[in-house]
Amino acid sequence: MKADLCQIYTDVDGVYTADPRIVPGARKLDEISYDEMLELASLGAKVMQSRSVEFAKKFGVVFEVRSSLNDNPGTIVKEETRNMEDVVIRGVSLDKNQAKVTLVAVPDKPGVAARIFKTLGDAAINVDMIVQNVSHGAGAPATDLSFTVEKADLLKAQKVIEGLKKEVRFGEVIATDKIGKLSIVGVGMKSHSGVAGKMFETLAKEGVNIEMISTSEIKISVVIDLARAEQAMKAVHEMFLG
């Protein structure tokens, strides 16, 4: 259609630095890059679907997220510009729809992880974060393998894993849906150091333990106890965007 701008009308004024229902001090953003919006959309921000942002990025369509209830300016989503890197963190998100599965004493040999995750994939279970801790103790080499899935897939994942027990010969399975994935997103991370350390220090001051960590060029995600997740989100938002 060769449109200069696409306007997305929704029930909010635009994209915020965090969910205003959890963080009262969250602010509306004037602009955000496609990549930042993609990360936030995939990390639990409900304002846009990832697929929509992918299409806009692919065809270079600038779009504005704005309210259908008033005439206030919204948030412009566009290609990254140099001045965007001046803002280290663009937003904080919290995904409460996560569950964690840990396989204890998995044999530490080639092909085991491939077998486990291929079987989960064949069952149409999407695995997000993966952490493996290799044991260096006496006896046969073994590892603890943890991964996260969507909460709705937890029971299905447990059944799939149980079906692998005789073949893979791991120990017990520990599963919980009492976790949250807290993430910070910003293209400014590319050119600013110490962001992860500042986030972890903030969580430590709040007494929040980190169970898993995942990073990309413009994102840091941690898995934490769900009961402390909203408190942690407020503290991290205050540190970077307060």
> Which one is predicted more confidently, 146 or 84?
146
Cβ proximity of 185 and 40 under 8 Å: yes
Structural domains in the chain (count): 3
29 with 17: CB under 8 angstroms?
yes
Answer whether residue 185 is part of any domain.
yes
User: CA torsion sign, 151 to 157 to 158 to 159?
Assistant: positive
State how far the Cα of 55 lies from the Cα of 87, in Å rounded to an integer: 25
**pLDDT (0 to 100) of residue 85:** 73
Q: What's the pLDDT at 227?
A: 96
> What's the pLDDT band for 97 if we cut at 50, 70, 90?
very high
- The predicted structure's pLDDT at residue 139: 63
What is the C-alpha to C-alpha distance for residues 203 and 236, in angstroms, rounded to an integer? 7
Structure tokens at 122: 């064949």
pLDDT reported for residue 109: 87
Domain span at residue 124 reads 96-178
| Distance from C-alpha of 88 to C-alpha of 133, rounded to nearest angstrom | 31
Token representation of residue 118: 């291929």
pLDDT for 20: 87
In a 13 Å sphere around the CA of 146, the CA atoms on its Cβ side amount to 16
Share of the chain above pLDDT 70, in %: 96
Query: What's the confidence (pLDDT) of residue 138?
Result: 52
Domain boundary among the residues 160, 178, 196 is at 178
Q: How many CB atoms are closer than 10 A to CB 203?
A: 21
Does one domain contain both 25 and 73? Answer: yes
* Structure confidence by residue, pLDDT tens digits, 182-236: 999 999 898 888 999 999 999 999 999 999 999 988 999 999 999 999 999 999 9
Q: Is residue 26 part of a domain?
A: yes
Q: List the CATH number of the domain containing 187.
A: 3.30.2130.10
Please, which residues have CB within 8 angstroms of residue 9's CB and are 6 or more apart in sequence? 66, 67, 68
- The answer on pLDDT for 61 being more than 70 is yes
Mean pLDDT of 80-85: 76
Residue with the bigger pLDDT between 43 and 104: it is 104
Query: What's the CATH code of the domain at 122?
Result: 3.30.70.260
Report how far residue 116's alpha carbon sits from residue 108's, in angstroms, rounded to the nearest whole number.
Answer: 13
Q: Model confidence at 137, in pLDDT bands (50, 70, 90)?
A: low
Give the SS3 label for residue 155.
helix
For the chain, the average pLDDT equals 90
pLDDT of residue 142: 85
| Statement: residue 136 has pLDDT above 60 | no
| pLDDT value of residue 45 | 65
Residues 174 and 101 in one domain: yes
Domain membership of residue 148 (yes or no) is: yes
CATH code of the domain covering residue 60: 3.40.1160.10
